[in-house]
Amino acid sequence: MGTLRVPKVVPSADQDCERLKKAFDGVSPTRCVCGRWGTDEKAVIRVLGCRTTSQRRIIKDRYQQLYNESLIARLHSELSGDFGKAVILWTQDPPERDARLAKDALRIKRKGIKHLEVIVEVACASSPHHLMAVRQAYCSLFDCSLEEDIASTVDMPLGKLLASLVSSYRYDKEVVDMSVAKSESATLHEAIKAKQLDCDQVAWILCTRNFFQLRATFDCYKLNYGNPIDVDIKGCGNGDLESLLKMVIWCIDSPEKHFAEVIGNSIIGLGTDEDSLTRAIVSRAEIDTMKIRGEYYNMYNSSLDNAVIGDTSGDYKNFLMTLLGAKI
């Protein structure tokens, strides 16, 4: 369950567009900043931060029709910093947002797998329909497929696994065959025991079975072999493949656990990884941030809301907290 709070009586799209236009034009005298009228950021948050995906899409379309300008382009010109990035990501259609995030991730030349998180999230923590929409958006935006870019930028064996994950189109109904779960948990156990994590059978199971079937397989694995499968995978070593497979399994089996860890890693320690924090909250606010909040407490014995408040400030903090259901 998400934490987005939508008013009981939602203004019309035209009314919301008018409020946004006034916020950008700074019609309130209280918005005078450095000798000019400034943007009313709170008004932007009150409108866009309290609307669903479909409502934001209508607002975006009506804004273009009413004022002959792109709402996204106007947000780019009016807002800045982490606040601006967060609002723009939230306002974009989710498939376009995730396609752009995936492209940005693939442009990064960095050791490790942290920058590849968003690709695993799209492939394994989203519906098959959303993954297909992201792939279509990626082709439209960048004139090539997501699979092609992964193959050309991510080294083997990580690239092979990621390309297979984003190429899959899983059945999205709750269909489980327990005999298959038992058989494939044994196959996974043999591969892990032999430390052959890059074998084709592992990739085939993880990339083709529906999520309900895979969760049953993971349950069978723990029942039959004593440990959760991700624990045994980490026992094979601390390499990038082991880390990537653990991420894949968490995103399939318990997305809220993965995103709680993403938020924790972005906040705990020196500095804040605002990009990861923003991505986690923006992408899940309408899906499962209530569960993420619970998992965060289980992992860190502290409140997610307090952690966000303590590590962010200003309009950026207010916007994230609005998506988490707070009244600002």
Report long-range pairs for 60-64 (Cβ below 8 Å, ≥24 apart).
60/91, 61/13, 62/13, 62/14, 62/17, 63/17, 63/20, 63/21
271 is in an annotated binding site: yes
Q: What's the CA gap between 106 and 236, in Å, rounded?
A: 27
61 is in an annotated binding site: no
DSSP SS3 for 36: strand
Q: What's the CA gap between 230 and 215, in Å, rounded?
A: 12
267 is in an annotated binding site: yes
26 is in an annotated binding site: yes
**Residue 264: other Cβ atoms inside 10 A:** 19
312 is in an annotated binding site: yes
- Alpha-carbon separation of residue 199 from 13, 101, 182, 195, 206 (angstroms): 52, 29, 19, 9, 12
Is cis: bond before 157, omega within 30 of 0?
Answer: yes
98 is in an annotated binding site: no
> Of 289, 258, 1, 272, whose CA–CA distance to 120 is shortest?
258
**Residue 205: other Cβ atoms inside 10 A:** 19
Q: What's the CA gap between 24 and 265, in Å, rounded?
A: 34
Binding site, annotated residues for Ca(2+): 24, 26, 38, 78, 267, 271, 311-312
Binding site, annotated residues: 24, 26, 38, 78, 267, 271, 311-312
